[in-house]
């Protein structure tokens, strides 16, 4: 799910002024010469907007993160075709009844510390980590099978074979084997041992203060250096399993550097100066960068509508913690009124967002399923801009207007709430600013407050102390990946979140009938093997999500990235981006 960490943002520089100042000052540096000044190692330099939150893949809740470079599972997905490909497993066989898969591991697999990677690691990772109820991992919900919500049985068959068995048909069965495998010889002790509060040490294991040499991985790269608020450096994993057709060790590129910058403006400056090899192209940068493609020796790739989803949501949790309501009762009453949510949706001018914020490089998103997924239903009707209809809905629900045009509820309380997002993300900040303006037109006062991402995540998952927010999730072709959002007991059911493991209980939490129904349909769809029948079930989930609006979807931007032409082998995909095949990319020789 796409959640980015943003720290300390500098003052905004208006794009027009930025262009004028930089027009005569930017000198494009030959990128190959710049790379030669550090140990003469071939490297790619990219930017991320914040420090990582964890180095523990099982506990990660943010994307992007380091784990796409450092870990692999038994299988992986080709984002160009959606095909499931071998990874740590060289092959697999599926039983005739579709209830078991036996994977055969590659020979000679090793961890980055040289220790053998075996079937025991696979069995341990699933049984003791992902399926361990004491470990609050987001992936557990996606592993639940059918109506029983049981988990796969994972067992060792031989020294190179592992068997996954389920109790009933499960359409995403093979895809569930793509989860990162962890090193038993390192992690097992942290699972078994407890801290003074009786919790597994694993919950605090491999934090961002861990020395890089202590991180044991199986992916193409391992962590070499991490300097807080400055950079993350990855180096080739000498024990990575994959080789090219000539038998050469992969990956080809020796180092990957992620510079930690303060804002997207700073990243743009660094890319234009030649110190970055790639940058995500936001709509407000597109025209500028398009003019400079040839001179800057880079290519802008367009993968069509992005898989990620951006939305606004209200806190619908009606529960209490320590005798105190999570949401102020009068506001909870507003938020839980479906016509209030519909009125807000009608009041948001998404056409204006597309034109002004996305510069025409986006489309309206009306569904919780990614546009490029085969399960997306384009017939789902969204909420087009109609402020007059929004006002009618509010008046019909007992709201009223004072002489100054302010919206009041039936008890004469002014309708006012706080809207949060992660600071530093220019697009989300612009969306929030526009929503504030749009809702003022129907008498609602919005206190728009961008905050640090870590603080936002803590509010959404731990304290549950929030009223409304704008945030984004990653997407994919398989809708079941989102079951942890749509199941009422899901780890990311953020609009009505249950307590995370180890957190104080919540009294009086209410699950609505439509909310429960969507969760049940996700379970039903995952159990259906016929594609057309699955598609029909997911169509119903999209209809209910649109009707009851727990999430108000905004705009789906196009997936755009600028990449230096010195990087060869790019096969751009909206799902995988430019670097999904990082192990096979090469740098042009000079």
Tens-place pLDDT, residues 307-346 = 888 999 999 999 999 999 999 999 999 999 999 999 999 9
Predicted confidence (pLDDT) per residue in 101-124, tens digit:
999 999 999 999 999 999 999 999
Ramachandran area for residue 495 (φ above 0: left; ψ -120 to 50: alpha; else beta): alpha
Minimum mean pLDDT range among 143-152, 245-254, 356-365, 478-487: 143-152
Q: By the 8 A CB rule, do 208 and 132 touch?
A: no
- Give residue 466's pLDDT: 97
Provide the mean pLDDT of the chain: 90
Give, in order, the Cα–Cα distances in Å from 518 to each of 156, 319, 481, 542, 548.
36, 21, 14, 9, 11
Find the helix packing angle between 338-347 and 531-548, rounded to 10°.
90
Residue 25 confidence (pLDDT) above 50: no
**What is the DSSP secondary structure assignment for residue 129, as one 8-state letter?**
I
pLDDT given at position 426: 85
Residue 10 pLDDT class (50, 70, 90 cuts): very low
Question: 346: closest CA among 313, 383, 381?
Answer: 383
Asked whether the predicted pLDDT for residue 34 surpasses 90, the reply is no
Residues 6 or more apart whose Cβ sits within 8 Å of residue 109: 88, 116, 117, 118, 218, 241
pLDDT greater at residue 516 or residue 36: 516
More confident residue, 34 or 560: 560
What's the average model confidence in pLDDT over 472-486? 89
Separation of alpha carbons 8 and 14, rounded Å: 18
**Residue range 482-496: average pLDDT?**
91
Q: Per the structure block, which two tokens stand in for 457?
A: 């995540």
Which residues have C-beta within 8 Å of that of residue 417, sequence separation ≥ 6?
314, 331, 334, 335, 444, 446, 447, 467, 468
Residue 35 pLDDT more than 80?
no
Cβ neighbours, 10 Å, residue 124: 21
Cβ atoms 215, 70 nearer than 8 A: yes
What is the pLDDT at residue 7?
32
Sorting pLDDT into bands at 50, 70 and 90, what band is 4?
very low
CA atoms within 13 A on the CB side of 46: 24
pLDDT of 544 reads 97
Provide the terminal-to-terminal Cα distance of the chain, rounded to the nearest Å.
39
Quote the pLDDT of residue 474. Answer: 82
Give the C-alpha separation, 348 to 195, whole Å. 48
CB-based contacts of 161: which residues, under 8 Å, 6+ apart? 102, 103, 104, 105, 119
Q: Which range (62-71, 237-246, 308-317) has the least confidence?
A: 62-71
CA atoms within 13 A on the CB side of 189: 4
Please report the pLDDT score of residue 40 as a whole number. Answer: 64
Judge whether 347 and 387 are in contact, CB under 8 Å.
yes
Please report the pLDDT score of residue 15 as a whole number: 35
Burial profile 86-123: b = 16 or more Cβ within 10 angstroms, e = fewer: ebbbeebeeeeeebbbbbbbbeebbbbeeeebbbebbb
Q: Is the pLDDT of residue 22 over 70?
A: no
| Average pLDDT for 357-372 | 93
Side-chain-side CA neighbours of residue 91 (13 Å): 2
pLDDT at 32: 39
Q: What is the mean pLDDT of residues 40-54?
A: 88
Position 8 pLDDT exceeds 60:
no
DSSP 231-242: EEEEEE-TT---
Q: Report the pLDDT averaged over residues 505-518.
A: 96
Find the range with the poorest average confidence among 306-320, 438-452, 471-485, 513-527. 471-485
């Amino acid at each position: 799910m796409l959640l980015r960490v943003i720290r300390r943002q500098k003052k905004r520089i208006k794009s027009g002024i930025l262009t004028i100042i930089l027009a005569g000052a930017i000198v494009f540096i030959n990128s190959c010469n710049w790379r030669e000044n550090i140990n003469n190692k071939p490297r790619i330099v990219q930017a991320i907007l914040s420090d990582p939150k964890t180095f523990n893949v099982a506990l990660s809740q943010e994307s992007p993160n380091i784990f796409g470079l450092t870990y692999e599972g038994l299988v992986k997905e080709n984002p160009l075709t959606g095909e499931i490909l071998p990874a740590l497993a060289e092959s697999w066989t599926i039983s005739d009844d579709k209830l078991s898969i036996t994977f055969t591991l590659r020979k000679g697999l090793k961890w980055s510390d040289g220790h053998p990677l075996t079937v025991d690691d696979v069995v341990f990772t699933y049984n003791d980590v992902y399926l361990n109820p004491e470990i609050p991992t987001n992936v557990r919900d996606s592993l639940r099978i059918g109506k029983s919500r049981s988990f796969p049985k994972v067992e060792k068959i031989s020294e190179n074979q592992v068997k996954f068995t389920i109790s009933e048909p499960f359409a995403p069965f093979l895809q569930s084997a793509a989860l990162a495998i962890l090193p038993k010889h390192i992690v097992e002790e942290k699972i078994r041992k407890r801290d003074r509060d009786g919790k597994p040490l694993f919950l605090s294991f491999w934090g961002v203060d861990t020395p890089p040499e202590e991180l044991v991985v199986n992916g193409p790269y391992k962590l070499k250096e991490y300097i807080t608020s400055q950079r993350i450096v990855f180096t080739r994993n000498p024990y990575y399993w994959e080789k090219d057709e000539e038998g050469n060790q992969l990956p080809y590129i020796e180092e990957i550097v992620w510079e930690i910058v303060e804002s997207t403006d700073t990243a743009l400056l660094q890319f234009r100066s030649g110190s970055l090899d790639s940058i995500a192209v936001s709509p407000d940068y597109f025209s500028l960068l398009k003019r400079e493609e040839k001179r800057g020796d880079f290519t802008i790739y367009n993968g069509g509508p992005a898989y990620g989803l951006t939305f606004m949501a209200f806190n619908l949790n009606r529960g209490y913690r320590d005798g105190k309501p999570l949401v102020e009762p009068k506001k909870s009453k507003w938020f839980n009124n479906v016509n209030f949510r519909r009125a807000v949706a009608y009041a948001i001018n998404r056409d204006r967002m597309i034109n002004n914020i996305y510069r025409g490089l986006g489309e309206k998103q009306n569904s919780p399923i990614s546009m490029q997924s085969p399960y997306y239903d384009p017939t789902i009707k969204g909420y087009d801009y109609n402020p007059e209809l929004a006002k009618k809905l509010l008046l019909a629900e007992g709201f009223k207007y004072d002489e100054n045009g302010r919206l009041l509820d039936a008890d004469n309380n002014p309708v006012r709430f706080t809207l949060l997002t992660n600071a530093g993300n220019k697009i989300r900040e612009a969306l929030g600013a526009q929503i504030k303006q749009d809702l003022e037109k129907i008498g609602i006062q919005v206190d728009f407050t961008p905050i640090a991402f870590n603080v936002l995540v803590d509010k959404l998952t731990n304290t549950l102390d929030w009223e409304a927010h704008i945030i984004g999730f990653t997407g994919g072709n398989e809708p079941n990946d989102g079951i942890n959002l749509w199941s009422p007991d899901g780890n990311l059911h953020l609009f009505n979140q249950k307590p995370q493991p180890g957190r104080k209980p919540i009294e009086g939490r209410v699950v609505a009938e439509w909310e429960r129904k969507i969760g049940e349909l996700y379970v039903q769809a995952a159990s259906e093997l016929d594609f057309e029948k699955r598609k029909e079930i997911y169509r119903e989930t999209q209809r209910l999500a649109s009707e009851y609006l727990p999430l108000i979807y905004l705009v789906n931007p196009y997936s755009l990235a600028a990449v230096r032409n010195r990087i060869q082998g790019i096969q751009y995909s909206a799902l995988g981006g430019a670097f999904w095949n990082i192990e096979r990319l090469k740098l042009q020789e000079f």
